[in-house]
Structure 1
Amino acid sequence: MRFSFRPVEGAFYELFTRAAHNLVRGTELLNELSLPGVDVQSVSERLTEVEHDSDAITHELYKKINSTFVTPFDREDIYSLGSQLDDVMDHLEAVGNLLYLYGLTKLPALPRELHELVNVLDQQAKLTAAAMPKLRALKDLEAYWIECNRLENDGDRAYRMLLVRLFSGEYDALTVLKLKEVADELEAACDAFEHVANTVETIAVKES
């Protein structure tokens, strides 16, 4: 029989779960940008509020690490996972802020491929939120990181098609520069979700 000297105290798992649920809130807010008559300023401001809450969760996580003698798994992995979840939220907030500040929602329509990227992020966020509570038992997680990586590949394809459209001559040069910055943040968010999944895989392998 295998014995574990790891603590069963659940504060770390709860913090990871809260951070992941904020990512779902973030992608849901980005999805609102496709609705007719949406208040873009309100969406941007609410994204900033969610990002501030995520920052607070990350600081709480770091404080918990520094005040805990024995952690559920390696400290560097806890730091890494907390930081990566926060990175995703930073990219989501940047997307909302740039769309508002650049006035891009005043275009006749945002590129379809941009909405496809947001849809990929929404799926990744929901997968991640469902996976975080499973860290406690470290079971039934393989399907999560496999699917999250597959979705990242979908995001890469949508990003490349978005670039093709941006440089097709459909938009003026200044609009292309603005949309390209938004596209880069969306693609970075997809990558950041994959980094979270890879860290979860690393933790599961180490602790198995």
Structure 2
Amino acid sequence: MKLRLFPQEPAGLNLLSQLARQIVLASATMAEILGAPATEHHRLVEDMHNHEAKSAELHFALLTHMRTSFVNPLPREDMYALSQSLNEAIEKLDAAAELVALYNLDRLPKRAADQLEIISRQAELTADAMRRLNNLDDLEDYWIEVLRLAKRAERTHRVWVADMLKDMKSAQYARNRDIANQLVDVTKDMRRIATQVGSIIVKES
């Protein structure tokens, strides 16, 4: 680790941690949506919209903080990239939730729950990592594990699409494929966050 010669303001890391926490909460809401009847979807989607709105608020708060703070704990470009990817991940979760309601899907295939399990685990690991960004030596395992989960998510997506092509008619396939694409894109954003952390580790070592 490089020696830090100046004190850093912790507010930026706190904001990143809060952003990551919103993904954990959003994943839990998505799990509720998958297990709820269609009559409950619109209420739960409103909860998801609230998570997305809070994420956007935190993202813009971080941008303001970086413009006005003298010394940040990490380079501004790294903090911005982390914040952007965190915010984009929750936007895609929000989109997936809204599509479930718009398409009036009462039940999704088991692969959706499998994919959400991966997202939830990535979110938990990322929330923990964002709290520990001031001690990068401890984060290599996080980086590796999220990349492993992302590869698993890609395989799950491929199998899910193949199953849908085999079992569904074209309109049903199109609706479910939209949701599958949103969920796998969330895992890609989480991978992007872990890769950014890996880049920071390499630069700061």
Indicate whether the TM-score tops 0.5.
yes
1:69–1:9 CA distance, 2 compared to 1 (3 A): closer
1:3 shift after superposition: 3.6
1:122 aligned residue: 120
**For residues 79 and 100 of structure 1, what CA distance do their matches in structure 2 show?**
32
**For residues 153 and 81 of structure 1, what CA distance do their matches in structure 2 show?**
20
Cα pair 2:9 2:71 within 8 Å, conserved: no
**For residues 146 and 117 of structure 2, what CA distance do their matches in structure 1 show?**
13
Cα pair 1:6 1:73 within 8 Å, conserved: no
Cα pair 2:8 2:72 within 8 Å, conserved: no
TM-score of the pair, normalised by structure 1: 0.93
1:36–1:62 CA distance, 2 compared to 1 (3 A): closer
Moved over 6 A (4+): none
Structure 1, unpaired ranges of 5+: none
| 2:169 counterpart of 1:178 | no
1:198 aligned residue: 195
Deviations 1:140-159 (A, max 9, x none): 10110100000001101110
CA RMSD in angstroms comes to 1.3
Q: Which amino acid aligns with 1:192?
A: D
Identity %, equivalent residues: 28
Q: Which amino acid aligns with 1:204?
A: I
2:134 aligned residue: 136
Q: Which amino acid aligns with 2:140?
A: E
Cα pair 2:146 2:190 within 8 Å, conserved: yes
1:131 shift after superposition: 0.9
SS at match of 1:155: helix
2:55 aligned residue: 54
**For residues 171 and 50 of structure 1, what CA distance do their matches in structure 2 show?**
32
Q: Which amino acid aligns with 1:74?
A: P
1:84 aligned residue: 85
Cα pair 1:6 1:72 within 8 Å, conserved: no
1:64–1:104 CA distance, 2 compared to 1 (3 A): same
Aligned residues: 203
1:6 shift after superposition: 4.4
**For residues 179 and 201 of structure 1, what CA distance do their matches in structure 2 show?**
33
**For residues 6 and 143 of structure 1, what CA distance do their matches in structure 2 show?**
28
